[in-house]
Amino acid sequence: MGGGATRLYSTLAHTLSSSGGSSHRVPLPLAHLERYQPADTNLDPDLCQGQKGSSLSPLDPAEVLRQCKEALSDRPPRFRRTFIQPSDSNAGTIRVMQWNILAQALGEGLDSFVQCPPEALNWSRRKYLILDEILTYRPHVLCLQEVDHYFDTLQPVLVRLGYSSRFCPKPWSPCLDVEGNNGPDGCALFFDESRFELLDCVSLQLSAMTIPTNQVALVMILRCRITMRHVCVAVTHLKARSGWEWLRSAQGSDLLRQIQNVVQTHTVRTSAGSSVPIPLIICGDFNAIPTEEVYCRFVTSPLGLDSAYKKLSQDCSTEPEFTTWKIRPTGECCTTLDYIWYSQDTLRVDAVLDMPSEEEIGPNRLPSFSYPSDHLSLVCDFSFKEDE
């Protein structure tokens, strides 16, 4: 990335860090960020033509999926994952995908996956694996972290598949330290426009003890076009690495507070004057195992949250054994860091996508030729309890 872009991001970071106070709506000049995103000339030109995808004709999801599979025909097959269904779904089911897709700059430059072949990390193939995963499950709501190819790939392709979206980059993204980077990574939230109407979107820079941090979140208020019910969806990516447990806890508390503030401004009242609670879905790479304080804060939150992926366990009380499995110079990491939280009083979990086996993942772990990220996608089907 050229010096002009680097100066832009440095100025942006300085502006955010000097604003002080608690979490706030981040005034990110995305139009300026977009200017520095190169066009992806390797992707099929019928899928992605520059950055103005909204002005192009719609795409057939089945055709895009076919093109992805054709581009990957010489690679090992993807994992075969099935849905575990605690109960029957209905026409009002909302499918949500949570996924840290692995920033391209980090995968190639900083994360050091020592047993992953360098060829498996090439964006020319990895982008097809990412699109293949998304289009296989066709979520109505898609929550992504470590997105550094938003403007040149994901947004232009997905907008032509009927998705609308917002992107919130980290103010001091480590991607910018990698030579040849594609800009800062951040969180992105996509929703199916045929299913939802956007009522509000808030971009947040999370704080710890009123001090702004490098972690961000997006919070959307959506209205379901089938049930006309409102739902609040949030996506975040908390601070990584051991030793930062206290910071993750503070960021999680700040996020919960900010979400509650957003929800309160969109309170729906009945004809009798009583308020109707807005269901919450909070997705993210929390970088926290289930015994960490930030996890406990979400479990005990007055918002009445539960973790959807506990439905995979027989007693519905424990998380999966892993959502990420990788090998770095420091050793092997197999643990659960990713979650989909939901309002257990107003939403019902209809189905949960299971995890691949150790044999399917393979001895070199993730990422690999058959999977583009070191984190596995989480996919859940929800329905409003009143619609049972």
pLDDT of 24 strictly over 80:
no
Q: What is the pLDDT of residue 112?
A: 87
Segment among 5-9, 120-124, 168-172, 337-341 with least mean pLDDT = 5-9
Q: The pTM is what?
A: 0.88
pLDDT of 22 strictly over 50:
no
pLDDT band at 8 (very low <50, low <70, confident <90, very high): very low
Each residue's pLDDT tens digit, 197-235: 999 999 999 999 899 999 999 999 999 999 999 999 999
Four-way CATH pick for 3-387: 3.40.50.300, 3.60.10.10, 3.20.190.10, 3.10.150.10: 3.60.10.10
| Residue range 251-264: mean pLDDT, rounded | 96
**Structure-model confidence comparison of residues 137 and 12, the more confident one:** 137
SS in 3 state form for 295-331? HHHHHCCCCCEEEHHHHHCCCCCCCCCCCEEEEECCE
Beta bridge pairs of residue 204: 25, 217
Each residue's pLDDT tens digit, 101-111: 999 999 998 88
Each residue's pLDDT tens digit, 114-168: 899 999 999 999 999 999 999 999 999 999 999 999 999 999 999 999 999 999 9
pLDDT of 12 strictly over 60:
no
Beta bridge pairs of residue 340: 283
Q: What is the pLDDT of residue 39?
A: 45
Q: What is the pLDDT of residue 42?
A: 45
Report residue 292 CA to chain centroid gap: 21
Is residue 254 within 8 A of residue 217, CB to CB? The reply is no
Is residue 380 within 8 A of residue 96, CB to CB? The reply is yes
Is residue 196 within 8 A of residue 140, CB to CB? The reply is yes
pLDDT band at 387 (very low <50, low <70, confident <90, very high): low
pLDDT band at 44 (very low <50, low <70, confident <90, very high): low
Q: Please say whether the dihedral angle defined by the alpha carbons of residues 287, 291, 294 and 297, taken in this order, is positive or negative.
A: positive
Kindly list the domain boundaries of the chain, sorted by start residue. Answer: 3-387
pLDDT of 38 strictly over 50:
no
CA 388 to each of CA 186, 280, 347, 383: distance values in angstroms, whole numbers, following the listed order = 36, 18, 10, 8
